[in-house]
Amino acid sequence: MSQLIIYHNPRCRKSRETLDIIRQSGEAPEIVEYLKNVPTEAELVQLVKLLGISPFELVRKGEAEYKNQYKGKDLSDAEWIAAMVAHPKLIERPIVVRDGKAILGRPPENVNSLLNG
């Protein structure tokens, strides 16, 4: 069974619910608290690629950092990646990765597609 990784924020209800679904399936995921261990630009580029979305689609638009610094700006993909590294709160959560595939846990049930159960 391959390793399951969750980019997790313990203060986020959707992130906690996704982690609960994973654990209830009997899996023991690697937990990356991305606000403490911020992904690098290269890691974020890879996550966006695995998710099949643009960097802008991974940005949380409700965060104060977005509203105050980025709303209405037309940034390149690289600039959005840099913004998420500088302000990890902007990264949508949770992200779950396994076997070269990734999903956003919104809704948390999305994670079922990566589970072996």
State the Cα–Cα distance between residues 78 and 15, nearest whole angstrom: 26
Sheet holding 5-8, edge to edge: 30-33, 5-8, 95-98, 101-104
In 3-state terms, what secondary structure has residue 35? coil
Catalytic site positions:
12
Please check whether residue 15 is in contact with residue 105, taking contact to mean a CB–CB distance below 8 angstroms: yes
Please check whether residue 94 is in contact with residue 12, taking contact to mean a CB–CB distance below 8 angstroms: yes
State the Cα–Cα distance between residues 117 and 62, nearest whole angstrom: 34
